[in-house]
Chain A
Amino acid sequence: MATNYTISTQAYFKLFFHAAKHPHKSVNGVLLGNKAQNGTITIEDAIPLLHHWTSLSPMMEIGLDLAGQYAESSGLKLVGYYQACERLDETALAPVGERVAGKVKAGFEDAIAFVIDGEKIGTEAAALIPYVSQSSSSSWRPAAGSAFTPGSPFQLASSDLPVRAIAHVRDDHLHHAFGDFDDHLEDVSIDWLRNRTCIPADL
């Protein structure tokens, strides 16, 4: 039986803003959440890591460690990984993505990875392609079946999240203030773990 995953508003907005801030680059980050009593994995938050030298690992490792510590202190676990590719038509999980997702899976059995669909992002579609793997050392493959449609094991907290995210980028420019770990390394005052100023008040 397939595991169910729900992406919260905050998590979706954050990964959307990350991609929107660097439209011509690859970006990646991790997902935080928990497994509920009924077995559903709720993805509560997203923490952005890199938008620069995304094939190189040292800063990603540090960022991953710090994100993991932050998760623990907030009662959450690292449950997944997301990335957006440079090219619109590229939907594969990069080798580096497989490595990070593998690490997350070693700590959380139901870990999930999402690749942002460059062709669909900016429409009302969720534009996320889920990837799953059998074990932390095996390769990741696109999850079978459709995603983010009625009845699919992958759901958004509410179906209007993509449209709302677009409005927040286009009209409120919330993504301008968004900072990831790369930004934080240049200026330690950047709030990469929470990105408080980018979360709309009416979440």
Chain B
Amino acid sequence: MSLSSALQQLASYRANNTRASQETFKKGVTILKSRNAPNLGEDGWAFLEQLALASIDIGRLDVADECTKQLSEKFPNSPRVAVLVGIRKEASESPESVLRYYDGVLEEDSANAAIWKRRISVLKRIGKTEKAVDELSKFLDTFYTDVEGWLELADIYSSCNQYTSSLQALSHALVLAPQNPFTALQFAETAYTAGDLPLALKMFLVVTEMVERDIPAPEDSAPTGISVRAWWGVKLCSRRLIESPPSSPSASDTPVPKTIKLIDELATERVLTSYSGEQGAEGRQLVSQWISAY
């Protein structure tokens, strides 16, 4: 692989925030050794940061140190390099020592959001979930628009069975990023896990609508990608709602649609169609069996 295509691949990983650490390390270390890094211009520094992170991820702390050294020399007192130094410390020092380091940085610069988030992730890692949630909530009070933070909070709440709080956090994420179908999907799945089937159904349908909005005649083609998962969700919800109609209103007061049987039929058709091509041939029988079990 040529130098320029390796650089392109690494640049695209950075743009998409991809954590392909093995690949990144393999390509990156060759570039580092060829001593071309400083000649990469502006991108060279982002590259060194990326290689440092990948190296830490796969346990090559020696390479990480080389990268961090160059970055520290070039950008002394940089808040961004401080984060990298912190992450490097996380790999070899005790959590208490790392937390002290982060506290130190925050004392000098309380607006360093990245450091704050690292601190929270260390708390989560050592099992101090309540403290992590507390800190994360405070963080989000200050940095309200940090979508990643809201999603993380939702995830932590779900893992402790606190679904209502999780849904609240996801609502904020939805307000900030209303076009992101994955957030709506996470909301739908969380609502289902919490037992609020009408709400889950509504959100699964919202996902299908978001994804199929730009397709001219979605009913004529097989669902792909996230649609498949969403239609499965619709099918699961509608099936359960038909089988055991809820006797009390849902927690969110979402009504069961009057057209539930039609929705169920549509979802059945959509899920089966996902398996209709050559791709789905293998799975089709099992899926039909599941669908006709009710």
Contacts and interface: CB of A to CB of B under 8 A. Distances in A.
Interface string A59-92: 1011001100110010000000000000100100
Interface string B223-260: 00110110011001100000000000000000000000
A186 B289 contact: no
A14 to B, nearest CB: 17
**Chain B interface residue bracket vs A:** 20 to 34
Contacts of A186: 225-226, 228-229
A59 B279 CA distance: 20
Nearest to B280: A188
Interface in A25-67: 53, 55-59, 61-62, 65-66
Interface in A98-154: none
B189 interface: yes
B279 A189 contact: yes
Given A94-B159, A188-B275, A58 B192 contact: yes
B287 A66 contact: yes
Contacts of B159: 55, 94-95
**Chain A interface residue bracket vs B:** 20 to 34
A53 B189 contact: yes
A26 B193 CA distance: 18
B264 interface: no
Interface string B117-146: 000000001010000000000000000000
A69 to B, nearest CB: 6
B164 interface: no
A57 B275 contact: no
A87 B156 CA distance: 13
B290 A55 contact: no
A95 B190 CA distance: 15
B10 interface: no
Contacts, number: 74
Given A69-B289, A87-B125, A188-B274, A58 B228 contact: no
A69 B229 contact: no
B193 A55 contact: yes
Contacts of A177: none
Contacts of A167: none
Contacts of A184: 283
A55 B155 CA distance: 8
B286 A66 contact: yes
A58 B236 contact: yes
A24 B282 CA distance: 30
A115 B274 CA distance: 34
Contacts of A189: 279-280, 282
Contacts of B236: 58, 61-62
A193 B286 CA distance: 11
Contacts of A56: 158, 186, 189-190, 192-193
B174 to A, nearest CB: 16
B200 interface: yes
B161 interface: yes
Contacts of B237: 58
A187 B277 CA distance: 12
Interface string B187-219: 011101100000010000000000000000000
A90 B124 CA distance: 12
B35 to A, nearest CB: 30
Max count, chain A CB within 10 A of own CB: residue among B159, B190, B200, B289: B159
11 contacts: A56-B158, A56-B190, A56-B193, A58-B200, A58-B236, A59-B229, A62-B232, A185-B228, A187-B225, A189-B280, A193-B283
Interface of B: 19, 57, 125, 127, 155, 158-161, 186, 188-190, 192-193, 200, 225-226, 228-229, 232-233, 236-237, 274-275, 279-280, 282-283, 286-287, 289-290
